[in-house]
Amino acid sequence: MYYLIYQSSALIPRNSSEHDAILIASYRCNKRDDITGFLHREQDNFVQYLEGPQDKIQDLMLRLEKDWRHKDIEVLDEGPLTTRRLPDWQMGMVEQGTFAISDLLEIQDTKLAIKSADPFDLVVFMVANAGLLRQIFEVEEKKG
């Protein structure tokens, strides 16, 4: 088991239908490749946490480098992993008033300067956001 976290600059508008297309394609391909994780959009940046077989994650990164919806991919951290932190695939969008990575790191720039951040803090943030989104979805699903 392996993990990788990266950041890139988004080239699609914040409220774009392309976000749904990313989620649908990610779910299909990542399920096939046994990859799980969380994709976070904040300002004009994507931050993605991935976990799964190392060769499959490396293949995915090669595909992502060619994806027209973002540019300037920067791997923030990667390495071996003993247990999955995120057993399913999710995507999150930070809206006004939602806890954001920029809040965690106390930065105000439009470019998230997170290369110097502790990767563990970023992973904890991503897992917490995924858990929060899962709870919100479950509540909405019960309302019906």
pTM: 0.71
Kindly report the average pLDDT of the chain as a whole number: 75
Per-residue pLDDT at 42? 77
| pLDDT tens-digit map of 68-113 | 989 999 898 899 989 888 777 665 555 444 556 655 555 555 455 5
Pick the CATH number of 2-143 from 3.40.50.880, 3.30.70.100, 3.40.630.10, 3.40.50.1820: 3.30.70.100
More confident residue, 125 or 77: 77
CA distance 130 to 125: 9
Per-residue pLDDT at 96? 42
Per-residue pLDDT at 134? 56
Per-residue pLDDT at 22? 80
Domain edges within the chain:
2-143
Q: Hey, CA dihedral for 90, 63, 28, 85, is it positive or negative? A: negative
pLDDT greater than 90 at residue 118: no
pLDDT greater than 80 at residue 144: no
Region 121-143: mean pLDDT is 60
Which DSSP helix (H) or strand (E) runs through 119? helix 119-143
Burial class (CB in 10 A: 0-12, 13-18, 19+), 32: exposed
| pLDDT tens-digit map of 28-60 | 888 899 998 888 877 788 888 899 999 999 999
